A and B are shown apart, each in its own frame.
Chain A
Amino acid sequence: KNEVEQSPQNLTAQEGEFITINCSYSVGISALHWLQQHPGGGIVSLFMLSSGKKKHGRLIATINIQEKHSSLHITASHPRDSAVYICAVMFQGAQKLVFGQGTRLTINP
């Protein structure tokens, strides 16, 4: 079964802390996406990965194909990073994106 699991479901941290959000999936994939959803609901695409590591500003995304696992890291976290972070996967041979449940991140000043 094609499944995507994220952890933790909720994460609260202090400003400046290093944040890690995890995503595990069940079978081989062709691509994995990290998305950010703010309280208003709009979704922003952060990264698309099929291997290795990508960095954009304070955000870093990594993927380990053998372990079927991806992580999203935020360095020097800031209250404006507070949002729901969602992992979405395109499984090999499938035609649909499967979303994780999301991780609600709250950064306190």
Chain B
Amino acid sequence: SQTIHQWPATLVQPVGSPLSLECTVEGTSNPNLYWYRQAAGRGLQLLFYSVGIGQISSEVPQNLSASRPQDRQFILSSKKLLLSDSGFYLCASERNTEAFFGQGTRLTVV
């Protein structure tokens, strides 16, 4: 079965600093990959999804970007973090209706 590795688990970053969160998938090929964010007290909101290498769809405008340099690697980035970027970030993988989830990254921007 699939395994998703997402790191780091927690991160504290100053405002204006860059961000790079990485997600890698094992046990499958050509999955659909997703980045979600959960702000405090809110539900999970889809940020980006990718159906293949180099193919990224953005769901909400923001100062974040995503890239998929390899089939099983999905990266979430920012050039300059804002306080409002604080939250819980979750990577997910889906293939043939089966979905798997990373452990998440709790980001605090200070």
- Chain A residues within CB distance 8 Å of chain B: 30-31, 33, 35, 41-45, 48, 50, 86, 88, 90, 95-102
Q: With a CB–CB cut-off of 8 A, which chain A residues contact B43?
A: 86, 99-102
Chain A: which residue is nearest B50 at the CB level?
Answer: A95
Tell me which of B44, B45, B46 contacts A86 (CB under 8 A). B44
Given that A41-B88, A101-B43, A102-B43 are contacting pairs, would A96 and B49 also be in contact in the complex, using a CB cutoff of 8 Å?
Answer: yes
Check if B101 sits within 8 Å of A43, measured CB to CB.
Answer: yes
Tell me which of A33, A43, A44, A90 contacts B90 (CB under 8 A). A43
Please tell me the size bucket of the interface on B. 20 to 34
Within 8 A of A (CB), among B11-44: 32, 34, 36, 38, 42-44
Q: Which segment of B65-73, B75-83, B92-100 sits at the interface?
A: B92-100
Task: Give chain B nearest CB distance to A57 CB in angstroms.
Answer: 19
Task: Give chain A nearest CB distance to B104 CB in angstroms.
Answer: 5
Check if B97 sits within 8 Å of A95, measured CB to CB.
Answer: no
Q: With a CB–CB cut-off of 8 A, which chain A residues contact B44?
A: 86, 88, 99, 102
Given that A95-B51, A99-B43 are contacting pairs, would A35 and B101 also be in contact in the complex, using a CB cutoff of 8 Å?
Answer: yes
CA distance A102 to B42 in the complex (A): 9
Check if B34 sits within 8 Å of A45, measured CB to CB.
Answer: no
Check if B97 sits within 8 Å of A45, measured CB to CB.
Answer: no
CA distance A30 to B38 in the complex (A): 24
Could you say which of B42, B102, B103 has the most chain A C-beta atoms within 10 Å of its C-beta?
Answer: B103
Given that A41-B88, A43-B90, A102-B43 are contacting pairs, would A97 and B99 also be in contact in the complex, using a CB cutoff of 8 Å?
Answer: yes
Chain B: which residue is nearest A98 at the CB level?
Answer: B46
Check if A42 sits within 8 Å of B51, measured CB to CB.
Answer: no
The 7 closest A-B pairs by CB, nearest first: A31-B97, A101-B43, A99-B44, A42-B103, A43-B101, A41-B104, A41-B88
